[in-house]
Amino acid sequence: MKKVLIPTKLNAVAREALNQHGNYLVVQDDSADLAALASQHPDTYALIVRSEKVTAEIIDALPSLKVVIRAGAGYNTIDTKYARARNVDVMNTPGANANAVAEEVIALMLADARHVVPADASTRAGKWEKKNYMGKEITGKTVGIVGFGAIGQLVAKRLSGFDVKILAFDPFLSEERARDLKAESAELTEIFEKCDYVSLHMPENDETRGIINKSLLARMKNGATLINCARAGIINEGDLRALKADKGLRYLNDVYPKDEAGEKPIADIADIMLPHLGASTVEANYNAALRSATQLIGYDDKGIASYVVNRDVPEGLDKAYSELAFALSYLCRSIAGGNKQMKLIETSFYGDLATFGDWLLVQIVAALSDDFDRSLGYDAALDYLKEMGVEYFNRQTDASKGYGNSITVDVTTSVDAATFRRISVRGTVAEGNMMISRINDFDKLYFEPVGTAVLFIYKDRPGVIGQIGNALAEAGINIDDMRNPHDPAGTYSLALMKVNSKVNPELIAAIGEKIDALHASCVNF
């Protein structure tokens, strides 16, 4: 019998499902702290937690521990790196609370629109301030959803009865899937300019941290409402504070840097604050509990590790190829630019890499979408592609091409209803270093995808490289490496330059206009 310790108020369905299986001895106890329970049950095989902190000390106190399951999506309270060092797998249950968060968004919108919180307090105090609480209706408004994954899509579904217009921002979303949900694809700036409500549903990472800043907030309609049930760090609170009063913005919030008691830095600008209640429903607790149990059973009985979030690189695979798959796909994403809807991903894994195609797909999907964690598994990647309406095809490779151990990633995006764009890149690893060998028809590049690179495609003619170099130099940016091949017909040239610092998008656009470029972009690998 394998002992499973559940030190939290988790729905009994997890315990019942594990007991019914017959191979588990379940101890569920929320009366003591985790450290005390760990000392009492050192023979614990699996640990199922909610927001409890699983530290290195807890892991050391459980020498028989093999798996930790977070009954929910976020796992920042678990020391995943130390767990990996101790050969402990950490799993989460993404999507179990998606509907709960989506309904919370609707609750916040309605509560604010009809002044539910202050009107309740006023009436309980014996007042009758009906004139002070004139509300507004959601029906007929335009709602922007930033991040159109599982939660964003459910928000759209829950809003369908309000007869609203929905604009969605998410590059990793097919046009067909957006239409199915009665949404229109839009650029991020367009959403902030046109919407009466903007609901945020993106993860917090290096790319998204502080992304909701002055440049976007200043575009919002006077009196518009911003809702954050995602992550605290995606909003620049200082910029919101500076603009909120002048524009009459409303701010509804459920997320904070830390989930703990004490003063909150956004208290002066939040019109409604909740203590991170997004997943706090009976149903979400039930779903997360059931998922925790079924995932543990699948992990033990069938070796299903799709939602292990701290996986090592598979034995026999050089980690550099995992990073290469990510870098190639991220390059495709950067070249595509903007909110271009994904249609199709095609891959070719040459040489010994064919064996690791399932693992490498995870890295590819994670590079193309901030909403997918690169530490998840192949089945999770396929589920995510299906959810977003993106097709995937892995091609059989031809060893006679002599590509050795290399990877080709092709991404087809929808430019408009009648136009599709295909971006194809290939790369390999040489002497331990990642190398991009081809971008579309520009071959034999051998360019290392690290740091910052600028990329321009233009009609071939003399003097263009000098113009690009001068413009960068005037901005104090130095070129560290460069490739400048022509296409097979000799009509177009590619200028691919590694530079010593990040480049302002406005400068990229200005250079592109100056040289009459067909394409201009900056990639931060």
pLDDT digits (tens, 9 = 90+) for 51-60: 899 999 999 9
- CATH of the structural domain 2-92+283-302, one choice from 3.40.50.720, 3.40.50.2000, 3.40.50.970, 3.30.460.80: 3.40.50.720
pLDDT for residue 339 is more than 80: no
CATH 3.30.70.260 region(s) of the chain? 319-524
- CATH of the structural domain 98-273, one choice from 3.40.50.720, 3.30.70.360, 2.40.50.100, 3.40.50.2000: 3.40.50.720
Say what the pTM is: 0.81
pLDDT digits (tens, 9 = 90+) for 174-209: 778 888 889 998 889 999 999 999 999 988 877 789
How far is it, in rounded angstroms, from Cα 371 to Cα 54? 24
CATH 3.40.50.720 region(s) of the chain? 2-92+283-302, 98-273
DSSP per-residue string spanning 38-89: HHH-TTEEEEEESS--B-HHHHHT-TT--EEEESSS--TTB-HHHHHHTT-E
Q: What's domain 319-524's architecture? A: 2-Layer Sandwich (3.30)
* Predicted pLDDT at 417: 62
The structure tokens listed for 133 are 């609480």
pLDDT for residue 367 is more than 70: yes
How far is it, in rounded angstroms, from Cα 201 to Cα 153? 10
Highest mean pLDDT among 91-100, 131-140, 332-341: 131-140
Residue whose pair of structure tokens reads 């940016």 in the numeric block: 477
507 band by pLDDT with thresholds 50, 70 and 90: very high
217 band by pLDDT with thresholds 50, 70 and 90: very high
Span of 110-119, 165-174, 282-291, 336-345 with lowest mean pLDDT: 336-345
pLDDT for residue 64 is more than 70: yes
340 band by pLDDT with thresholds 50, 70 and 90: low
Region 260-269 average pLDDT = 92
Highest mean pLDDT among 248-262, 299-313, 406-420: 248-262
* Predicted pLDDT at 208: 86
- The burial of 396, by beta-carbon neighbours within 10 Å (0-12 exposed, 13-18 middle, 19 or more buried), is given as exposed
